[in-house]
Amino acid sequence: MKLSENAKQLLNARYLLKNTEGKIVESPEELFWRVAKYVASVEKEDRKKWENKFYALLANLHFLPNSPTLMNAGLLNGQLSACFVLPVEDSLNSIFTTLKNTAMIHQSGGGTGYNFSQLRPHGDMVSSSGGISSGPMAFIKIYDTATEHVRQGGKRRGANMGILNVDHPDIEAFILAKSKGDALHNFNLSVGITDDFMKAVQQGTDWKLTNPRTKKMTKTIKAQKLWNKIVSQAWATGDPGLIFLDTINKHNPVPEIGTIQSTNPCGEVPLFEYESCNLGSINLSKMVKLEGDRGEVDWKVLGNAIGVAVRFLDNVISANHYLLPQIEQETKSNRKIGLGIMGWAELLALLNIPYASDEAISLGEKLMKFVQEKSYEASAELAKEHEVFPNWEKSVFYPNKPMRNATCNSIAPTGSISVMADTSYSIEPLYALAFRRVGILENQTQMEINPVFLSKMRELGLWTDEVKDEVLAAGSIQHLEYIPKEIRRVFETSLEIPWEYHLRHQQAFQKFTDNAVSKTINLSKSTTIETVSDIYRTAWKYGLKGITIYRDGSKANQVLQACHLNKSPNC
């Protein structure tokens, strides 16, 4: 098992078990055995065989599960899920019961999503007390403050998704919630968008805001005016994103249960209230056969990894400790899992395919189709071996396709686990060829030169002190004309890639992902508000389930920063 220095630093800080004095009492190898053994403990037969298979998958860094599984598997009352959605109903009792449940989930390492649209608007009547309502924003602020003080698993701060539907009377205040820059640090905010609203924007018509308590219209506003507010705020601060609720429900695998109103914090898992989900990602940078100077995807190794990973994630549902009976009930009724990928940009670089190319898009479709087919096969096998998920008869799979899991695939952002696997995030392009990662471990800074880039440059005899200095200074090689153009194209970084290609990648992977795709469209500082509007409209036209953009430098504390090693004492 070969771990990078950054991976070791992260494991030491967050994942390896410590004794009461805070001294580390486990090695990375022991961590992977602890997780493999515990997840295999629910096997009725061949337990040792599956323990060994799970260990090999983890130790070879072919697959890693979400952080709570790595942190808590095998511990007393270990909570192993990363993603939760909780209800927020229009009563003080519901609001504060959910807040208490949120604190427990965050303490165990999970993140939570909520839709606040049932809450009556600010200034509305409260008949029980004769007073007036504080409205959703007041309670979102309370949730944010509580999150600040409850660390996830004692290891990281909690994460929340706050959604308000586009027809709520307080939608304008919600859109502007982060305009001051120092508000709601622990929330991603997204507007719940409907097809009707998008059509009203296209047609330039009025849009009605409706009180959820009385169901009466409170205000009419030009749809375009509301749209302009959304996109200009996203341009200025990165929030709000959009969640396309009609698209999500069009693809809801168990529509008879009801409609889905919310997602987990990064948007890749739409969930019913009280549902949780277990995620994990295949490391594509390990799924390459290199032959000469041109590699190809190792479909056999990838197929095997998918089969074992689906079983692993399904076992987590059975082995998990549930914090609330409602969460156990909902989760086990649908047995949703979210197997995704990381290292996509590195895979493309290993195959000498530019991210901004039609070849990359078509390979993305082919690869994700393969992942989904193999995931479904594995889930169908598990259904034969155990049984179908309890709500199967109410699902789109009934009666022809017995399945163990209502969903199999999600594309998560893979923040920490990408660092551990020493690969690129999710399906994102390389952020920079060298960058510093700030704030991931308290105030420590991690420095990174991309390993695939480094080995390619050495292989081509292009790695000189001059190139090294340039890359450390700029994080890019696009300005170095003595490097062949085709090499420069392969190593274009996130901000150098046109937004159209970012979106087309998201579309390609969404086609074969039954949950959703979390992807940030990274934009340069000079991007216009009109461009953000184009991106958000195109995302809806492409049938995406959600969209997030981030314009470089629009937040004061930016986690990834293209490196200026030689020009800054802080890097």
CA distances to 257, 378, 405, 423 from 333, in Å: 10, 19, 9, 34
Per the annotation, the verdict on 115 as an active-site residue is: no
Interior CA angle at 121 toward 145 and 224, to 5°? 100
94-103: Cβ within 8 A, 24+ apart: 95/119, 95/139, 99/142, 99/143, 99/146, 101/323, 101/324, 102/143, 102/146, 102/147, 102/158, 102/160, 103/146, 103/150
And the tokens for 270? 């739409």
Catalytic one of 266, 277, 408, 563: 266
Helix (H, G, I), strand (E, B) or coil at 226: helix
And the tokens for 456? 């390619």
Q: Are 276 and 525 in contact (CB under 8 A)?
A: no
- Cα(421)–Cα(436) distance, integer angstroms: 17
Give the sign of the dihedral formed by CA 446, CA 452, CA 458, CA 460: negative
348: left (phi > 0), else alpha (psi -120 to 50), else beta?
A: alpha
Catalytic one of 264, 278, 405, 515: 264
Per the annotation, the verdict on 228 as an active-site residue is: no
Q: Are 276 and 338 in contact (CB under 8 A)?
A: no
Q: Are 64 and 279 in contact (CB under 8 A)?
A: no
Catalytic one of 66, 188, 268, 492: 268
Looking at this protein, which amino acid is placed at residue 242? L
Per the annotation, the verdict on 359 as an active-site residue is: no
- Cα(542)–Cα(504) distance, integer angstroms: 8
- Cα(472)–Cα(468) distance, integer angstroms: 6
- Cα(329)–Cα(469) distance, integer angstroms: 56
Tell me which residue has tokens 């930016």: 558
Interior CA angle at 421 toward 419 and 314, to 5°? 110
- Cα(432)–Cα(346) distance, integer angstroms: 12
Nearest to 564 by CA among 498, 467, 474: 474
Helix residue ranges per DSSP H, 386-512: 415-421, 451-459, 465-474, 485-490, 499-510
Positions marked catalytic = 264, 266, 268
